[in-house]
Amino acid sequence: MTRDSLAPLVLSLVSIGLVAVLWSRCSVKPDSVVRVPPMFPRPALPADDLPTAAKVEMGRRLFYDRRLSRTGHTACATCHRQELAFTDGKAHAIGDTGEVHKRSTMSLANVAYAARLSWANPLAAKLDLQVRVPLFTEDPVEMGLSGREAMIGKLLREEPVYANGMPLAFPGDAAPFDVDHLVRAIAAFERTLISGDSAYDRYAHGDKSALTPEAHAGMDLFFGERLECFHCHGGFDFADSVTQQNAAAAQGGAPYHNTGLYNLGPHGEYPVGGRGVYEVTRDLNDMGAFKAPTLRNIAITAPYMHDGSIATLDAVLDHYAAGGRTIAEGPSAGVGSKNPHKSDFIQGFKLSDDERRSVIAFLTSLTDEAFLHDPRFADPWATH
């Protein structure tokens, strides 16, 4: 929908005050650089720090800048690659110093809507604060910038792109070259990473030919009570806890679930260092509870689970069909389906071969090719 195509309608509707309603259904708000797909709600953007074109462009530059790391070899985009829906294709993320992390990299698609921003930390609820974690955390090292704030300021002042652009991004601010403004710029860019133009979306918007019969059958299974998928992966973002503009609270409550991935020892424990929300709360009821991430673009974001321990979507279906994973031997041996802390939604199910193919076809229909190749999100430093 464009302004030109709306013009005749706008003229006829001014007298009855419906212009605002029409604008609310457009894919691009006139006062924002955050493009919202049809039928998506507006994200809950910070009223005192709204994204602007200048701020987002600085954030995009910083997101792809390898100089923002201890060795100069790692950028945010190293672990968040656009062509992989801003994941990295690895079971475990690798930090700037070569440290292998215990968790996999989550997609940044639709992060503007995320009510929680980490695999298992319920305190990580604000994007501006979360951006600081990969920049400065020491356990594990990601970008490795702790204690290097002076270097950041020097880069922002001496690199012409930033020296000219940061004051424009933050007009009137006395110190646009400090860490706070760097973080705010990156967060502004990340809020524009909205994915909502998949085959499924086109179907939902009225194009009934957008889904193949096989994918349509998979959609019916996905949203049915037999598989229970939609309980943890529902709504427009296929996640169970989102925030949006004018919402009284996050939808869906706490987005953490034990899916029976492990069952160690007498108390249903998970491997040390990967025990989920329990590592924050020390409440045994939170053992193995991890975030249910968005399923958008899920077909290209393998491997799966918080630790990348399941390689394919077919194997993911095996896990849920069994009601939890059984590991026969080794240090992680155990019957996950019997984990006492497992979610009530993980009960197991049976699928025929045709049904299995249908579910995977539906999950594949959530891939947004335009998002994966949108030049607005691409590396601005790249030379072609």
Question: DSSP for 260-301?
Answer: SS--BTTTTB--TT--BTHHHH--GGGTTBEE----TTGGGS
Residue 42 within any structural domain of the chain: no
- Binning pLDDT at 50, 70 and 90, where does residue 18 land? very low
Per-residue b or e along 191-221, where b marks 16 or more CB atoms closer than 10 Å to that residue's CB: bbbbbbbbbbbbbbeeeeebbeebbbbbbeb
Residues 148 and 86 both lie in one domain: yes
* The last residue of a domain, from among 141, 175, 194: 194
Residue 351 within any structural domain of the chain: yes
Instruction: Please name the residue ranges forming H helices in 64-158.
Output: 76-79, 127-136, 149-158
Residue range 328-347, pLDDT digits in tens:
999 999 999 999 999 999 99
Q: Is 97 exposed, middle or buried (0-12, 13-18, 19+ CB in 10 A)?
A: middle
Predicted local distance difference test score (pLDDT) of residue 39: 87
Residue range 273-309, pLDDT digits in tens:
999 999 999 999 999 999 999 999 999 999 999 999 9
Residue 320 has pLDDT above 90, yes or no: yes
Q: What is the CATH number of the domain that holds 151?
A: 1.10.760.10
Residue range 118-165, pLDDT digits in tens:
999 998 889 999 999 999 999 999 999 999 999 999 999 999 999 999
Residues 337 and 267 both lie in one domain: yes
- Asked if 264 contacts 332 with a C-beta cutoff of 8 angstroms, the reply is yes
Residue 57 within any structural domain of the chain: yes
Residues 222 and 343 both lie in one domain: yes
Residues 234 and 157 both lie in one domain: no
Residue range 71-117, pLDDT digits in tens:
999 999 999 999 999 999 999 999 999 999 999 999 999 999 999 99
Q: What is the mean pLDDT of residues 2-29?
A: 33
**Segments forming the whole domain that contains residue 305:** 205-369
Residues 159 and 114 both lie in one domain: yes
* The last residue of a domain, from among 194, 223, 242: 194
For residue 306, give Cα distances in angstroms to 291, 325, 374.
8, 14, 27
Residues 3 and 118 both lie in one domain: no
Residues 219 and 360 both lie in one domain: yes
Residues 112 and 20 both lie in one domain: no
What pTM was estimated for this model as a whole?
A: 0.89
Predicted local distance difference test score (pLDDT) of residue 24: 34
Residues 267 and 335 both lie in one domain: yes
Residue range 27-76, pLDDT digits in tens:
334 346 999 998 899 999 999 999 999 999 999 999 999 999 999 999 99
Q: What is the mean pLDDT of residues 357-383?
A: 96
Residue range 203-245, pLDDT digits in tens:
999 999 999 999 999 999 999 999 999 999 999 999 988 888 7
Residues 186 and 275 both lie in one domain: no
Which amino acid makes up residue 70? R
Separation between Cα atoms, residue 33 and residue 35, nearest integer Å:
6
Residue 109 within any structural domain of the chain: yes
Residue 13 within any structural domain of the chain: yes
Predicted local distance difference test score (pLDDT) of residue 98: 95
Predicted local distance difference test score (pLDDT) of residue 4: 40
Separation between Cα atoms, residue 169 and residue 312, nearest integer Å:
42
Residue 374 within any structural domain of the chain: no
Choose between 16 and 270: higher pLDDT: 270
Predicted local distance difference test score (pLDDT) of residue 36: 94
Q: What is the mean pLDDT of residues 185-213?
A: 97
Residue 83 within any structural domain of the chain: yes
Residues 17 and 90 both lie in one domain: no
* The last residue of a domain, from among 194, 217, 244: 194
Select from 280, 243, 296 the least CA-distant residue to 116: 243
Predicted local distance difference test score (pLDDT) of residue 253: 54
Predicted local distance difference test score (pLDDT) of residue 221: 98
Residues 228 and 88 both lie in one domain: no
Number of domains in the chain: 3
Predicted local distance difference test score (pLDDT) of residue 246: 63
- Asked if 345 contacts 232 with a C-beta cutoff of 8 angstroms, the reply is yes
Tokens encoding 342: 């497992």
Predicted local distance difference test score (pLDDT) of residue 254: 65
Strand partners, 289: 276
Residue 3 within any structural domain of the chain: yes
